[in-house]
A and B are shown apart, each in its own frame.
Chain A
Amino acid sequence: MSMLIGLAVVGGVALMLALWVIGVYNGLIRLRNAVKNAWSQIDVQLKRRHDLIPNLIETAKGYMNHERETLESVTRARNLAAGASGVGAQSKAEGGLSQALSNFFVVVEQYPDLKANQNFLALQEELTSTENRIGFSRQAYNDAVMTFNNQVEMFPGNIVAGMFGFGKSEFFEIEVPAEREVPKVSFS
């Protein structure tokens, strides 16, 4: 009778141990897949940058040309008006300036977004965001690696990890030391 109870106890303990091992193993699988997923997310962001940025620059350039022509015609007319001497020439130049200016205002009314500043701000925001995303995806990858390594290396998870051959993952690190330097910014 007592042997039966003893057997039952041993069986219960063995069952609990088995369940625990299963739980830890599943957790390790989950974490390792998270690491792999996070690594591929970095590539997703890099590809996005590769596809997106050239198009954004082209769009901004297009706006620039449009405005440049209008502004140039106004500037030319203004210079003519300033350089003109004599009433006749001056009035003609001023008329030309008025004409160019009225064209300018017509264009501004037709294209209310014709403010280069706004376009460049938006472009700057997109560029910043793209770089931020790449940075955050690298950060997410490192977080996933850290969680996985913690589980693999800390006791008692390392027993299960050792049994089933889970190895540590590597952090994302800078390969080129020059990238750690502070970049030089000069507008000359």
Chain B
Amino acid sequence: MFELVRANKRRSVVLMLVMLALMLAVGYAIGFAVYPAVDNQVVALDQARALRLTFTPGGLIGMAVALGVWAVQALAAYTAGAQMLMAASGAKKLTKADSPQLFNVVEEMSIAAMLPKPPEIYLIEDMGLNAFAAGRDPQHASVAVTAGLLARLNRDQLQGVIAHEISHIVHRDVLYMTMMGVMAGTIIMLTDLFYRMTARGLRMSGTRRYRSSKSQGGGAYLLVLFLVALVLMIVAPLLAQLIYFACSRRREYLADAGAAVLTRYPEGLASALEEISGNAALESKNRVTAPMYIINPLTPEGAAFSSLSSTHPPVEKRIAVLRGMAGGVSYKTYADAWGRLEGGGAKMPAALLADSGAAPAARPAARPAAGADRIPLPAAAAAVFQQARPAAEPDTPQVRVARARDAGDLVRRMNQFLFIACPCGAKLKIPPEYAHPRVRCPRCHAVHSVASARAGDRTSFNPHVT
């Protein structure tokens, strides 16, 4: 685990520097636009003057402001992030007595991940199935699950989900995504600020200074800088969001791989994702906490589609990669399965692939029946479960049509309709006021005698003729 964590820390630093550079550039551009430099000299630009023009007081102040804004938010997120998140989701802390099975599962995964202490466990009283991890490092980590998740999943699936969340903690994903999120937020906030000030800024003497300057040196250079700043304003928020979402998706795949390695049983997580994918929508969801969940809670199918603005990769792909792992369970086999699905290179840190001890999957593929190994729910979860709708069959169009047809037949039977089963497979439903002695089947045009059907009504009627 250690190599992978250090590799990811290195990678995180690189990406954070990129975001930081972007943020500083935005800050600089704002400062530059608001307090532009003035250069009216006629001689051509030389290196020293260009440098002086670039690093204007305005630009530097802008960068400092950007850093300040970011620092305040980062500090808040770093120290109190977990509590804020838990409060925002309405989570209750659990003790071992509340749910011994969940506690045992979390402890087992902490042992497998070599955490110094197991994370705290919270319960979200919601019937949707979801889970998330919070906390900046393994010492201050916490995991939250919904009541629906506890009710629906069996032990192996629960273990897969918890392993996924603990992988997030081990990979320092929470810290990473928080920092990225704060930086992206700062960039967006600053560009928004810039747009508000633009009207004032452009009307200020600054632009007149650019345009009226007849020099070929400094003025043109300043104008170029100004244009670059403008482009940056437009591009930066989009870029920041793209980077953020791409990172988020990549981290999800990484956490899936980590979960498979921790449990040595990828089928557990795969079947859990299957169960969750139809039921991930939460009642109280908001955009801020969405990336932290195991499946996107903002869409009903749990983001079955993949878009550039999606924080989670598509569920089918995650399940397919997990089930496609062949030849042992390790980061390398996950990367290979991912590559086979993508048809291209799997984006795993190199250090991961070195740790490729191919261990066979821990248990055979047979999945125990749901509920076979479940012990009583904690009181809070049971209370929520009792109020919920019963476990529904999949709501496909075929099921809906069949249900409608059955309901219609029941009504007709109550109203003394006559049902005639034609040998071609059609079921003729004849209203009581039908006066003719014969009826023709609309499908095969065979003729049926209504009278004889009426006479033998009770014996010949078979509602389940197909």
Does residue A147 face the partner (Cβ distance < 8 Å to B)?
Answer: yes
How many interface contacts (CB-CB < 8 Å) are there between A and B? 63
B2 lies within 8 A of A125 (CB): no
B96-120 to A contact mask, C-beta < 8 Å, 1/0 = 0000110011011101111000000
| A54 shortest CB reach to chain B, Å | 18
Partner of B114, one of A126, A129, A140, A154: A140
Contact call B354/A129, Cβ cutoff below 8 A: no
Q: A166 vs B100: C-alpha distance in the bound complex, in angstroms?
A: 42
* Residue from A34, A37, A121, A146 within 8 A of B357 (CB atoms): A146
B376 on the A face (CB < 8 A):
yes
Select one of A30, A41, A125 contacting B111, CB under 8 A: A41
- Measured in the bound complex, the distance between the Cα atoms of B112 and A147 in whole Å is 14
Which residue of chain B lies nearest to A42 when distances are taken between CB atoms in the complex? B111
Measured between C-beta atoms, what is the minimum distance from A147 to chain B in Å? 6
Contact (Cβ within 8 A) B114 A132: no
CA gap between A38 and B114 in the complex, in Å: 8
Interchain CB contact under 8 A, A147 and B1 = yes
Complex Cα spacing A87 to B92, Å: 61
Q: Does B264 contact A (CB under 8 A)?
A: yes
Q: Which of B100, B109, B354, B355 contacts A122 (CB 8 A)?
A: B100
Are the C-beta atoms of B355 and A144 separated by less than 8 Å? no
Q: Which residues from chain A contact B107 at a C-beta distance below 8 Å?
A: 129, 133
A interface residues, how many (CB within 8 angstroms): 28
Q: Does B3 contact A (CB under 8 A)?
A: yes
B375 adjacent to chain A (CB < 8 Å): yes
Residue of B nearest to A38 (CB): B114
Task: Say if the beta carbon of A73 comes within 8 Å of chain B.
Answer: no
Across the interface, B108 reaches (CB within 8 A) one of A132, A142, A143, A150, namely: A132
Nearest B-chain residue to A154, judged by Cβ: B354
Closest beta carbon of chain B to A117's beta carbon, Å: 10
Interface status of A186 (Cβ within 8 A of chain B): no
- In the complex, per-residue mask of A20-36: 1 if CB is within 8 Å of any chain B CB, else 0: 00000000001100100
B113 partner residues in chain A, CB cutoff 8 A: 140
- In A89-147, the 8 Å CB interface with B consists of 118, 121-122, 125-126, 128-129, 132-133, 136-137, 139-140, 142-144, 146-147
What residues of A have a CB within 8 angstroms of the CB of B375 in the complex? 118, 121-122, 125
Minimum CB–CB distance from A26 to chain B (whole Å) comes to 11
Complex contacts, B355 vs chain A, CB 8 Å: 146-147, 150
Q: For the complex formed, measure the closest distance between the CB of B136 and the CB atoms of chain A, giving whole angstroms.
A: 21
Mask for B111-137, Cβ within 8 A of A = 1, else 0? 111100000000000000000000000
Taking A118-B376, A150-B355, A154-B354 as contacts, is the C-beta distance between A139 and B264 under 8 angstroms? yes
B328 CB to closest chain A CB, in angstroms? 12
Return the chain B residue nearest A134 by Cβ. B111
Most buried by A among B1, B3, B105, B111: B111
Q: Give the secondary structure class of B's interface.
A: helix
How many chain B residues sit at the interface, stated as a range, is 20 to 34
Residues of A close to B373: CB separation below 8 A: 125, 128
B100 and A147 contacting across the interface, CB-CB below 8 Å: no
> How distant is the Cα of A122 from the Cα of B100 in the complex, in angstroms?
8
A137 and B111 form a contact (CB under 8 A): yes
Is A129's CB under 8 angstroms from B357's CB?
A: no
Check B2 against A147 for contact (C-beta < 8 Å): yes
Beyond A45-B111, A140-B112, is A150–B354 a contact (Cβ under 8 Å)? yes
Which of the listed residues B108, B354, B355, B376 has the most CB atoms from chain A within 10 Å of its own CB?
B108
A151–B107 Cα distance when bound, in Å, is 28
Contact partners of B357 in chain A: CB under 8 A = 142-143, 146
CB pair A129–B111 under 8 Å, yes or no, is no
Interfacial chain A residues near B264, Cβ < 8 Å: 139
User: By the criterion CB–CB under 8 Å, are B108 and A129 in contact?
Assistant: yes
A175–B112 Cα distance when bound, in Å, is 22
C-alpha spacing A111/B362, complex, angstroms? 40
The residues in B between 387 and 413 inclusive whose CB is less than 8 angstroms from any CB of A are none
In the complex, the chain B residue whose C-beta lies closest to that of A118 is B376
In the complex, A32 Cα to B377 Cα: how many Å?
42
Q: Which A residue's beta carbon lies closest to that of B2?
A: A147
User: Contacts A118-B376, A147-B1: A125 and B100 contacting too (C-beta < 8 A)?
Assistant: yes
A147: which B residues are within 8 A, CB to CB?
A: 1-3, 355
Given the complex of chains A and B, what is the CA–CA distance between A100 and B228 in angstroms? Answer: 91
CA gap between A129 and B159 in the complex, in Å: 11
Cα(A147)–Cα(B114), bound, Å: 13
> Among B1, B100, B105, B354, which residue has its beta carbon within 8 angstroms of that of A126?
B100
A122-B100, A129-B104, A147-B2 known; A136-B111 Cβ under 8 A: yes
Distance (Å) between the CB of A163 and the closest chain B CB? 21
Q: Would B108 and A30 count as touching, CB distance under 8 A?
A: no
Complex alpha-carbon distance, A147 and B319, angstroms: 28
- Minimum CB–CB distance for A126 against chain B, Å: 7
Q: A133: which of B100, B111, B354, B376 is its contact (CB, 8 Å)?
A: B111
Q: Output the least CB separation between B360 and chain A (Å).
A: 12
List A contacts of B105 (CB < 8 A). 129
Taking CB atoms, residues of chain B closer than 8 Å to A144 are 114
A132 to B354, CA, bound (A): 27
The answer to whether residues A143 and B1 also contact, given A132-B108, A137-B111 and a CB cut-off of 8 A, is yes
B376 x A140 contact (CB < 8 A): no
- Report the Cα distance A150→B4, complex, angstroms: 13
Bound-state CA distance A125–B107 (Å) is 13
**A147 vs B355: C-alpha distance when bound (angstroms):** 6
Task: Kindly report which residue of chain B lies nearest to residue A115, judged by CB atoms.
Answer: B376
A34 CA / B1 CA spacing, docked (Å):
11
Offer 12 A-B interface pairs, CB within 8 angstroms, sorted by A.
Answer: A34-B2, A37-B114, A45-B111, A121-B375, A121-B376, A126-B100, A129-B108, A132-B108, A133-B107, A136-B111, A143-B1, A154-B354
Contacts A142-B359, A144-B114 known; 7 new A-B pairs at CB < 8 A: A121-B375, A121-B376, A122-B375, A125-B104, A129-B104, A133-B108, A143-B114
When A and B form their complex, which 7 residue pairs have the shortest distance between CB atoms, in order from nearest? Answer: A129-B104, A136-B112, A146-B357, A136-B111, A121-B375, A132-B108, A140-B114
